[in-house]
Copies of this chain bind each other. A is one copy, B any other.
Amino acid sequence: MTKQKQDTLFVGSLEKGMRVLSAFGERHRALGLTEIAALTGLDRSAVQRLANTLHKTGYLNKDPETRRYSPSLKFLELGNAYLWSDPLVQLAMPKLIELGRKLGERVNVARLDGDQIVYVIRIPTQLTSFGAMIAGRRLSALTTSSGRAMIACLSAAERKHAAETWPLTALTLKTTLDRAKIAATIEEAAACGYGLTVSENILNEIGIAAPILAADGRPVAAVQCSVSSMKWSIEKVRSGIAPHLIEVANSIQLS
């Protein structure tokens, strides 16, 4: 069998290194070499070299006692670089701070990325789960209010396709995995202009979101608010929160 032709514009060692970086996250805060090898599918010798290189360049900390690696502050600096480069974040951040003060509730902005959303702005005005306090979390679009608000702005065929094929992730026991139900909530969102979830991401939490559209009408992000269902009813959220989200979402004009 002849040798596969080399893709001379692709650096294999760099791709392997990035796989090591992306092994860390919510469920993997510190990892040993063998764990990294298992998570990335890479050879243990390769992981030894890659982890050592990332450590020497300051990207990974190494605990001298446990010999396990963890992300360094340079990870956070990369996150900072993203926030500087995203015009949406720069436009939206001041408006979200004002909105947080006005509503007194948690407000966020999420971007659509394929069939998932990523939270790019978090204004945690109240206590909540740690994952909901920090930026950068990635979740399935179908099971979040932000995702539903954005999917609602796609064409009917695209909405149908999304409801039928996009992945589902249960975050609570109340997360619905019934695709017909999800399709119905998306159609409802299309009708009223905002998406809703109740206890699907956090128990006793109502999530409501309004879409932010690009100049060509495509949904790219959503302004979202999370409130306690102990404090708010769905009716009150519809009348007292939704209009503010829609107003802010509409005020964010992307070129």
A1 within 8 A of B: no
Cα separation A100 to B127 with both chains bound (whole Å): 11
B80 close to A134 (CB less than 8 A): yes
Cα separation A118 to B79 with both chains bound (whole Å): 12
Interface centre among A30, A56, A78, A101 (most CB of B within 10 A): A78
- What band does the interface of chain A fall in when counting residues whose beta carbon is under 8 Å from B? 35 or more
A59 close to B18 (CB less than 8 A): yes
A232 within 8 A of B: no
Which B-chain residue is minimally distant from A94 (CB atoms)?
B127
Interface centre among A9, A14, A71, A100 (most CB of B within 10 A): A14
Cα separation A120 to B72 with both chains bound (whole Å): 11
Which B-chain residue is minimally distant from A20 (CB atoms)?
B14
Cα separation A127 to B97 with both chains bound (whole Å): 7
B52 close to A9 (CB less than 8 A): yes
Residues of chain B contacted by A127 (CB below 8 angstroms): 94, 97-98
Cα separation A8 to B118 with both chains bound (whole Å): 38
A136 close to B97 (CB less than 8 A): no
A29 within 8 A of B: yes
A90 close to B130 (CB less than 8 A): yes
A-B contact pairs, 29 of them (CB 8 A): A9-B49, A9-B53, A10-B56, A11-B49, A13-B13, A13-B14, A14-B53, A17-B17, A18-B57, A25-B77, A25-B81, A71-B85, A72-B82, A73-B138, A75-B81, A76-B82, A76-B120, A76-B136, A78-B78, A79-B82, A79-B135, A80-B134, A80-B136, A84-B134, A93-B130, A93-B134, A97-B133, A101-B125, A125-B125
A126 within 8 A of B: yes
Which B-chain residue is minimally distant from A116 (CB atoms)?
B73
Residues of chain B contacted by A101 (CB below 8 angstroms): 125-126
Cα separation A101 to B101 with both chains bound (whole Å): 10
B124 close to A123 (CB less than 8 A): yes
Of B14, B84, B138, the contact of A77 (CB 8 Å cutoff): B138
A145 within 8 A of B: no
Closest 4 CB pairs of A and B: A79-B79, A80-B136, A75-B82, A14-B17
B135 close to A80 (CB less than 8 A): yes
Residues of chain B contacted by A74 (CB below 8 angstroms): 22
